[in-house]
């Protein structure tokens, strides 16, 4: 029997793979990856961008309370944080103690530094959306010279430098040749998957002037963490609160989040003498990345060595490939060491 026709048909149906070669490939979906793109645009660096969808203003803005923090409470222009207890705000470090600080919370108890944050320009957002290729990454392969990034539309990106903002666990999930990583590395990946940040922005129809970062306990009777937030003036009649709360991944569901929002608003009504009619716009967003439960220097060194050319960026990592050690993102609260030098990408 002649199967030549069948073989020919199968060959014709096999999809053609398109290869795109670039020195720099950015996976873009948040503030940190957009900031990197902005710096590449400014330096006229040739690079490619891929993402699951186009970005909007909410994607590329920093969320929650300020992450510019320092250890030194005597630093000029720093503002200490406060916690709510027994119907009044109290300072950290005094005789009165706050409720237990959960993973991710300690960092915000350190003084906030007055500084201007780098914002993503509107023209940068437009440039990103013009340049970005919307694709789903199906797998990644580490090569001797860099990375092969395979996407669902039968494309493969061959790159020397891969900029990844989704955390090391998500990277390992799509890494084809995991065998290049040691058993020690793979066993520690789970330690990076901690609570998930829930960001809550609430605009109110009242001017509230309070510079200090506030800790509001979720429960006065149980250790359930805090709503941690800053408030800023919009105009003489309006203010905007920016809170973060860290949720156990097992409790991430619509009903639980709804109860948390109602809880927070009840507290705001009481503490700031607000009426229900004072609440205006709400913007609720859940981070796609959990925070690191621990910081492991040995894992950082191994990752640097084994995964050369992988640039982990974002709230868990610095742009220069290494895990947070002395920088001003909130994971560094595990160390209590922070500096403005690495607060943004350099």
| CA separation for the pair 83, 167 (Å, rounded) | 30
69-92 pLDDT, tens per residue?
A: 776 555 557 888 999 999 999 999
Q: Are strands 78-79 and 112-113 parallel, antiparallel or unpaired?
A: antiparallel
**How many Cα atoms sit within 13 Å of 64 on the Cβ side?**
24
204-258 pLDDT, tens per residue?
A: 999 999 999 999 999 888 889 999 999 999 999 999 999 999 998 888 888 999 9
| CA separation for the pair 108, 214 (Å, rounded) | 9
Q: What is the 3 state secondary structure string of 238-263? A: CEEEEEEEEECHHHCCHHHHHHHHHH
- pLDDT tops 50 at residue 334: no
Q: Which domains does the chain have, with CATH numbers?
A: 18-61+118-192+293-342 (3.50.50.60), 78-114+195-286 (3.30.9)
| CA separation for the pair 298, 253 (Å, rounded) | 35
| CA separation for the pair 262, 39 (Å, rounded) | 40
> What are 50's strand-pairing partners?
27, 133
How far is CA 172 from its chain centroid? 18
pTM for this predicted structure? 0.83
169-206 pLDDT, tens per residue?
A: 899 999 999 999 989 889 888 877 888 899 999 999 99
Residue 77, C-beta contacts closer than 8 angstroms, at least 6 positions apart: 113, 114
In terms of residues, how long is the chain?
346
């Amino acid at each position: 029997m002649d199967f030549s026709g069948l073989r020919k048909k199968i060959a014709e149906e096999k999809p053609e793979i398109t290869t795109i070669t670039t020195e720099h490939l950015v996976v873009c979906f948040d503030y940190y990856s957009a900031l990197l793109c902005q710096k590449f645009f400014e330096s006229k660096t040739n690079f490619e961008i891929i993402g699951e969808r186009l970005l909007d203003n909410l994607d590329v803005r920093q969320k929650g309370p300020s992450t510019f923090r320092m250890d030194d409470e005597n630093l000029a222009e720093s503002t200490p944080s406060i916690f709510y207890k027994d119907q009044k705000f109290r300072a950290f470090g005094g005789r009165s103690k706050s409720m237990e600080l959960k993973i991710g919370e300690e960092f915000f108890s350190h003084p906030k530094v007055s500084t201007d944050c780098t914002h993503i320009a509107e023209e940068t957002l437009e440039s990103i959306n013009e340049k970005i290729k919307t694709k789903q990454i199906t797998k990644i392969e580490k090569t001797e010279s860099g990375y092969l990034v395979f996407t669902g539309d039968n494309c493969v990106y061959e790159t020397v430098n891969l900029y990844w903002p989704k955390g090391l666990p998500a990277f390992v999930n799509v890494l084809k040749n995991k065998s290049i990583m040691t058993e020690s590395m793979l066993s520690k990946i789970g330690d990076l998957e901690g609570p998930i940040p829930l960001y809550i922005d609430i605009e109110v129809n009242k001017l509230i002037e309070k510079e200090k970062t506030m800790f509001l306990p979720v429960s006065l009777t149980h250790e359930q963490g805090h709503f941690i937030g800053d408030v800023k003036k919009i105009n003489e009649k309006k203010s905007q609160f920016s809170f973060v709360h860290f949720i156990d991944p097992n409790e991430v569901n619509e009903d639980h989040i709804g109860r948390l929002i109602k809880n927070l608003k009840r507290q705001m009504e009481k503490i700031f003498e607000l009426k229900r009619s004072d609440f205006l716009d709400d913007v609720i967003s859940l981070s796609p990345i959990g925070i690191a439960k621990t910081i492991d220097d040995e894992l950082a060194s191994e990752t640097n060595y084994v995964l050369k050319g992988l640039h982990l960026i974002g709230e868990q990592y610095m742009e220069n490939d290494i895990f947070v050690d002395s920088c001003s993102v909130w994971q560094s609260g595990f160390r209590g060491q922070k500096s403005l030098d690495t607060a943004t990408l350099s």
